[in-house]
Amino acid sequence: MFYLLLDLFLSYFKIGIFGFGGGYAMLALMEHEIIKVHGWMSMTEFVDIIAVAEMTPGPVAINSATFVGFRVAGTAGAVLATLGVISPSLLLIIPAAKLFMRYYEHERVQRVLYGIQPAVISLIALAAFVVGKSAFFDYRSALLGFACLLLALFSRIHPLALIGIGAAAGLLFFR
């Protein structure tokens, strides 16, 4: 059990270190660690946990770390996975914030930030692709996803309403 808890902490610590761009950018890293490296759960279980983490208040990376940790090793796993994912930020944010504020206007810092932005967007797109492969399991789920995307893009509908629409469609159309 000790090694499992250590693996959870270290895996989420690694995710926290390399998770530039927030929780959605971390999804590809989480999928790699949780499913491919450790085999702690299936892609379907991972997608379900991400869906629940998205619906609950708080950052998706922290929520999913808590849910995965609990699923894998109970309460101790939840605590250690959560501590793992937030520890890099806690250790790095204060000195990084001081340096960032001091050198933000510097040309090289701006160039680094311009380079990081497309990389973060690609990680978010990768996460959408990876999760989408499992979430769109038939034409109905793909149609529902496409309809929700169109509503999100071209209407003023609230994201919570889209989640409600998805839940209602799930009750009506999926068994």
Q: pLDDT (tens digit, 9 = 90+) per residue, 41-72?
A: 998 898 888 888 888 888 888 898 999 999 99
Query: Which spans in 23-158 are helix H?
Result: 23-31, 43-55, 60-103, 107-135, 139-154
Through-space distance between the first and last CA atoms of the chain, rounded to whole angstroms: 37
The CA distances from residue 15 to 20, 21, 86, 173, in Å, are 9, 12, 9, 36
Query: Is the Cβ–Cβ distance between 38 and 99 less than 8 Å?
Result: no
Predicted pLDDT of residue 21:
64
| pTM given for the model | 0.62
Predicted pLDDT of residue 150:
94
Q: What tens digit of pLDDT does each residue of 7-17 get?
A: 999 999 998 88
Q: What residue ranges do the domains of the chain occupy?
A: 2-104
Q: What tens digit of pLDDT does each residue of 118-171 get?
A: 988 888 888 788 777 777 778 888 899 899 999 999 999 998 899 899 889 989
Query: Is the Cβ–Cβ distance between 24 and 60 less than 8 Å?
Result: yes
